[in-house]
Chains A and B, each alone.
Chain A
Amino acid sequence: MDKSTIMSLIIKNLNKQFGENIIFRDFNISFREGERTCILGPSGCGKTTLLNIIGGITEPDSGSFEGFEGKSYSYVFQEPRLLPWKTVTGNIEFVLSDSLSRSERTAKAKELIERVELERFASYYPSQLSGGMSRRVAIARAFATDSDIILMDEPLAGLDTELKHTLMQWFSDIWKRDKPTVLFVTHDESEAHLLGNEIYRFSKAPVSIIS
């Protein structure tokens, strides 16, 4: 069965507030599995909070979650968050499971580095990479763990338009292979349209879905 036809990730009655600042009040949203869903909205509206709640980084005040049980996650943070003392290969190996042998880890990292076309830079440290290369390593790292859901928090913010387009095209290509569910947060309309199969437009907090 085509998993993209099922709205299988459902959040109901989500509530979250930070102090007096209400972010979500009885908020409902659902996502299709195996699709790339973009969440579009102004800065500070709660997009990142939603990703953090889904990823387990932030605890919700209340709410029910269906379809998220037993799922594995990857997170492409706004900044690449690469370990500066590890090479490109080392950074990808770092998130791979302890249950893999050393040679399996190296092989997996090598395969991902080839997929992101950074073979020549495998032994480079993050300080030797350009901004675009660092983002590609961070995305490769997200694919390293074969996660069911990839959370992406404005991973292209701050890059120039040409590089953004290149990275988005490249991301779409590697996504096609395993088609994990992607939840992609941005405040850039063009990014959302280029990358998302589905787009949710959020209002300012407390969040509601505009379209």
Chain B
Amino acid sequence: MKISITRNNWISIASVVIFLVLWKLLSLHFHSEFIVPSPEKTFKALCHLFVEKGFLSVVGTTVLRGVIGFAVAAIFGIAAGIIAGLYSGFNAYITPILVTIRSIPVIAITLLALIWFNPYSVPVFIGILTMFPMVCTNVISGMNSVDKSLVQMAEFYKVGKKRIIKELYIPAIAPFIFSGISNAFGIGWRAIIVGEVLGQPKYGIGTNMQTAQIFLNVDVLIAWTCIAVLLSYFFEILIKNIERHALKWTRVRS
């Protein structure tokens, strides 16, 4: 199989190389592992993490929190968004709630959650509160953009409400749902890790980041950050693939 590298691929590769060079220069400048460890030392720390006992428990628990938080936020966000799109009264009711939740700083939610919940639930709760308004707002925008003439056609032919929602509204708003999910997941991971840093559950990437920070293991802290970035990247690709499969009709052309 022939792999072709485009000009933009080369630019992306150059961007990563320049970043690594700058990092190396900074580490040489500070000459202290406690301030800026070198890229190679960080890479070693990253490799060490992968083989460390309990690595899978730590990453698996954070992923589980992310997935639970995302699932709850997506289910309620999509349902509330559809209802708000169908009934203007509910839209008027939920809009100030969404604006308020979006405006509250994550740290304020975290501090309150620490009082209300146990450390294991705090990251999930924060994840839900961060992701829910993003998904819901996108779904409401999608509902407002649905072609009303299609709805009129469906109602004229007396298609049942359930089928109109399932076969007309949901496919019509699917691009908005995926966009909301993608944005929400990106922000949600960060919120969940902040929740773990402050909540200190037994397992969690955030917990390990906090421990590394306390002991000034900056290389380990950056290594965990890399793992968080890789996880986020993995889920973004996963969502994009699901989106591509679900919205294949948008790509067919005569």
Could you list which residues of chain A lie within 8 angstroms of chain B, going by C-beta atoms? 55-57, 73-75, 77, 79, 81, 83-86, 94-95, 98, 124-125, 127-130, 141, 145
Are B171 and A85 in touch, CB under 8 angstroms? Answer: yes
Q: Which residues of A contact B160 (CB under 8 A)?
A: 98
Q: Which residues of B contact A124 (CB under 8 A)?
A: 252
Are B156 and A57 in touch, CB under 8 angstroms? Answer: yes
Closest approach, in angstroms, between the C-beta of A12 and any C-beta of chain B? 24
Q: Which residues of B contact A85 (CB under 8 A)?
A: 171-172, 174, 249
Given A83-B171, A127-B253, A98 contacting B156 (CB threshold 8 A): no
Q: Which residues of B contact A129 (CB under 8 A)?
A: 254
Per the bound structure, the CA–CA distance linking A57 and B154 in Å amounts to 12
Among B17-25, B145-153, B185-193, B203-211, the one that faces the other chain is B145-153
Q: Which residues of A contact B174 (CB under 8 A)?
A: 85
Dominant secondary structure of chain B at its interface with chain A: helix
Interface size class of B (residues with CB under 8 A): 20 to 34
Closest approach, in angstroms, between the C-beta of B253 and any C-beta of chain A? 6
Enumerate the 10 nearest inter-chain pairs by beta-carbon distance, A residue then B residue, closest first: A95-B157, A85-B171, A81-B153, A85-B249, A128-B254, A125-B252, A125-B249, A75-B156, A98-B160, A81-B149
Q: Which residues of B contact A77 (CB under 8 A)?
A: 149, 153
Are A83 and B167 in touch, CB under 8 angstroms? Answer: yes
Per the bound structure, the CA–CA distance linking A141 and B167 in Å amounts to 16
Per the bound structure, the CA–CA distance linking A129 and B253 in Å amounts to 9
| Other 8 A-B pairs with CB < 8 A, given A81-B149, A128-B253 | A55-B156, A83-B167, A83-B168, A85-B172, A85-B174, A124-B252, A128-B252, A129-B254
Q: Which residues of A contact B154 (CB under 8 A)?
A: 94-95
B226, CB-defined interface residue at 8 Å: no
Interface residues in B199-254 by Cβ distance below 8 A to A read 249-250, 252-254
B133-171 interface code vs A (CB 8 A; 1 in, 0 out):
000000000000000011011101101100100011001
Please name the residue on chain A nearest to B252 by beta carbon.
A125
Are A94 and B159 in touch, CB under 8 angstroms? Answer: yes
Per the bound structure, the CA–CA distance linking A86 and B159 in Å amounts to 15
Q: Which residues of B contact A95 (CB under 8 A)?
A: 154, 157, 159
Are A127 and B167 in touch, CB under 8 angstroms? Answer: no
Partner of B150, one of A81, A125, A128: A81
Please name the residue on chain A nearest to B247 by beta carbon.
A85
Please name the residue on chain A nearest to B164 by beta carbon.
A94
Can you list 8 A-B pairs, Cβ within 8 angstroms, ordered by A? A73-B156, A77-B153, A79-B149, A83-B150, A125-B249, A128-B253, A128-B254, A145-B157
Closest approach, in angstroms, between the C-beta of A101 and any C-beta of chain B? 15
Per the bound structure, the CA–CA distance linking A125 and B250 in Å amounts to 9
Per the bound structure, the CA–CA distance linking A55 and B153 in Å amounts to 11
Partner of B163, one of A98, A125, A128: A98
Q: Which residues of B contact A98 (CB under 8 A)?
A: 160, 163
Per the bound structure, the CA–CA distance linking A83 and B150 in Å amounts to 7
Q: Which residues of B contact A86 (CB under 8 A)?
A: 167, 171, 249
Closest approach, in angstroms, between the C-beta of B117 and any C-beta of chain A? 41
Q: Which residues of A contact B157 (CB under 8 A)?
A: 74-75, 94-95, 141, 145
Residue from B157, B167, B249, B253 with most neighbouring chain A CB atoms (10 Å): B157
Closest approach, in angstroms, between the C-beta of B25 and any C-beta of chain A? 52
Are A75 and B153 in touch, CB under 8 angstroms? Answer: yes
Closest approach, in angstroms, between the C-beta of B169 and any C-beta of chain A? 11
Residue from A55, A57, A84, A85 with most neighbouring chain B CB atoms (10 Å): A85
Given A74-B157, A77-B153, A81-B149, A94 contacting B167 (CB threshold 8 A): yes
Q: Which residues of B contact A83 (CB under 8 A)?
A: 150, 167-168, 171
Please name the residue on chain A nearest to B168 by beta carbon.
A83
Q: Which residues of A contact B253 (CB under 8 A)?
A: 127-128
Per the bound structure, the CA–CA distance linking A51 and B157 in Å amounts to 15
